[in-house]
Structure 1
Amino acid sequence: MTEPQPLLSAAELRLTFPGRRGAPDARAVDGVDLDIAPGEIVALVGESGCGKTSLARTLLGLERPTGGRVTFAGAPLSYTASALKTYRKRVQLVLQDPSGSLNPRHTVYDAVAEGLRIHRYPGDEREAVAGALARAGLRPPERFFLRYPHELSGGQRQRVVIAGALVLEPELIVADEPVASLDASVRGEILALLLRLREEMGLSALVVTHDLGLAWNIADRVAVMYLGRIVETGTVEEVLTSPRHPYTRALLSVLPEATGDPLVLAGEPPDPSRIPPGCRFHVRCQVLASGEAERAGVADACRSRDLPPLSGGGGAQVACHWARARHSSGEAIPTS
């Protein structure tokens, strides 16, 4: 049985920013393949500075890639103004901070209606706004029409932002840290809302987050990103119950429910304009530092041999010399 065609696909995607004062270009996205199927929720996970937001902006058409291509519904993304306007009706962004993305001078009604007015919606605007607010969990919607953002709770503001994305009935949303600024008691409600929207509307989603716990609660598939590349991908169960990449294991080890001691990574991710040779994680890798990679016979490869980008879909994949050596030998990889 053939797999369904991806709704959104990135192939060999690259995004570089010119270096300042003669410095090398910064490779924010450095050869990424990523597929999102219809109705699928994919979590893009990694530390700050690993390229998640740059990748999301490129997928949205907000940045034009330096190399590679973005395909939506089987057609390459065009960067003409009219094509991008049509595309952004079908693919909507939900930002992290609702306080920053909502104009304090606009009522809830005007905030949600803005997209309809930009795209010259031919139907009943009031009915569309009410329907979007109701789907986002703000009921009865008319009670919120004339309210301003400062009159709402944080969770209600995030629901208004989601309603503003839903009002155009998109096929996919890109949610950048959608619950990071919310209290713990509200996060579950917003995640449950996103799951319900997937069931009711067939909505696909790319959820950008640093929190693997959030990925566990909402995603079908996880893509772990480090220094411009996806280094591990698979179903949420494959990646979070049997992590293979040392970076993924370190991210998992700091979750409250994790067993064992946290794996503290040394330093910050390297500058994307000075990506190290070999595995780009090797300068911080606890497996290399502990001598495990040496015992597996891959320490030199870790330091000198680059790994090819992972393919966009399919089963569990990992870009790690040590993990591949362990897998090929049939040796089990510990999860903690």
Structure 2
Amino acid sequence: MNALLEARDLHVEFSSRGRRARAVDGVNLTVGAGEIVALVGESGCGKTTLARTLLGLERPTSGSTLYGGVPLSYRAKALKAYRREVQLVLQDPTGSLNPRQTVYEAVAEGPRIHGLANEEEVVSEALARAGLRPPERFFLRYPHELSGGQRQRVVIAGALALNPKVLVADEPVASLDASVRGEILALLLRLRDELGLSALVVTHDLGLAWNIADRVAVMYLGRIVETGSVEEVLTKPQHPYTQALLSVLPESEERMVLSGEPPDPTRIPSGCRFHPRCQVLASGLAAEAGVADLCRSKPLSILPAATEAQAACHFAQVLQIGQTGEASRPT
């Protein structure tokens, strides 16, 4: 797979009351051409910070963002060109649209900044691609005159007006009614099929990932803890955190309730960063497998960017070794 957008050993830290919060703590992630990747995790896990860094809105403390294999430059001219290729779709269309701007003005803003010719034609085509037809009917409307789904389509049209290669969509359907969510997800899939668009979809909803993504990356406390194809991750989850996230879906037969809140990013736990909340460790299964001490004390390696299924979990690694017929306990 040719990586179009890539995070390579990405770290992002913020100062917080004299301490350093590791919002993104070593992430390798790729989005291939024509691929939709879902970045999944609880609120506060770092996924929005990662998305902002990939967009060039945050500078990494270390590591790099690459586009087309070339490290991102933070010079103003280079960023302007990059943001024409990689566009953001925000979660709340009501908040991201100026209530005093017409639909035409909202969609035309990007083309004007980038000096595109044939403005009206560009706006019309973008609105039509976003499913607002005939586009001229929407030119003079204001956001308050539109439904929630129509407003989100206007936001998507604003991104499409620049003919980007990648969309970074942050919770693109979280604020919409259930009846409208399917339409917006179907639109994103259609854009991928018709235009070859790639997308990184940031979400807390694994059900959404199942409906739209080719690959899934599960994030916890600043790191990717499990990744793989959507079928591998959502039908055979290896990491206890992924299993807990899946258990809240309506079709799940077993509900897993995680204790506590995600830990403070200024105080990353020793060993596996998930171990204070891990149901496998709490139940004694990790002790039976001989990895309980490792879970509490030995940090796991940062997962590489790869297409095959992988999980940063001592217990999952023991199970995998056992399935291959090798030694059932780590050395």
Aligned match of 1:152: 146
Match of 1:320 among 297, 306, 313: 313
Q: How does 1:272-291 map to 2 (within 5 A)?
A: 272-291=265-284
* SS at 1:28 equivalent: strand
The answer to whether the 8 A contact 1:27-1:273 is kept is yes
**1:213 matches 2:215:** no
1:39 aligned onto 2:12: no
Q: Please say if residues 107 and 123 of structure 2, whose CA atoms lie closer than 8 Å, have aligned partners that are also in contact.
A: yes
Instruction: Say if 2:108 is the partner of 1:113.
Output: yes
Report the counterpart of residue 235 of structure 1 in structure 2: 229
Distance, in Å, in 1 between the alignment partners of 2:302 and 2:55 is: 21
Q: Is the 8 A contact 2:40 2:217 kept in 1?
A: yes
Aligned to 1:30: 25
Work out the CA distance in 2 between the residues paired with 1:9 and 1:308.
19
Q: Does 1:190 align with 2:190?
A: no
Q: What are the residue-to-residue correspondences of 1:30-179 with 2, within 5 Å?
A: 30-121=25-116, 123-179=117-173
Structure 2 unaligned regions, length at least 5? 326-331
1:17 to 2, 14, 19: 14
Identity across aligned pairs (percent)? 73
Give 2:52's aligned amino acid: R
The offset of 1:313, in angstroms, is 2.1
SS of equivalent to 1:42: strand
TM-score (norm 2): 0.97
Return the offset for 1:331.
8.3
Task: Report SS of the residue matched to 1:18.
Answer: strand
The two structures, once aligned, show a CA RMSD in angstroms of 1.0
Three-state SS of the structure 1 residue aligned to 2:3 is coil
Q: Distance in 2 between matches of 1:239 and 1:168?
A: 33
Q: Over residues 63-106 of structure 1, what are the superposed CA-to-partner deviations in whole Å (9 max), with x where a residue is unaligned?
A: 00000011101111000011100000000000000000000000
1:298 to 2:288 alignment: no
Q: Which amino acid aligns with 2:4?
A: L
1:132 shift after superposition: 0.3
Q: Distance in 2 between matches of 1:310 and 1:87?
A: 27
CA contact (8 A) 1:154 1:182 kept: yes
Shift of 1:135: 0.2
Q: Name the residue aligned to 2:328.
A: none
User: After the TM superposition, which segments of 4 or more aligned residues of structure 1 sit over 6 Å from their partners?
Assistant: none
AA of the residue aligned to 2:73: S
Checking the alignment, whether the CA contact within 8 Å between 1:5 and 1:74 is kept in structure 2 is no
TM-score (norm 1): 0.96
Letter in 2 for 1:145: F
Aligned residues between the structures: 325
Deviation at 1:7, TM superposition (A): 0.2
CA distance in structure 2 between the aligned counterparts of 1:90 and 1:159, rounded to whole angstroms: 19
**How far off is 1:18 after superposition?**
1.1
Compute the displacement of 1:258 (Å). 1.1
**Deviation at residue 312 of structure 1 after TM alignment:** 1.2
The DSSP-based 3-state class of the residue aligned with 1:10 is: strand
Q: 1:331 to 1:284 in 2, by over 3 A?
A: farther
**1:226 and 2:226 matched:** no
Q: Distance in 2 between matches of 1:181 and 1:5?
A: 33
Counterpart AA for 1:90: E
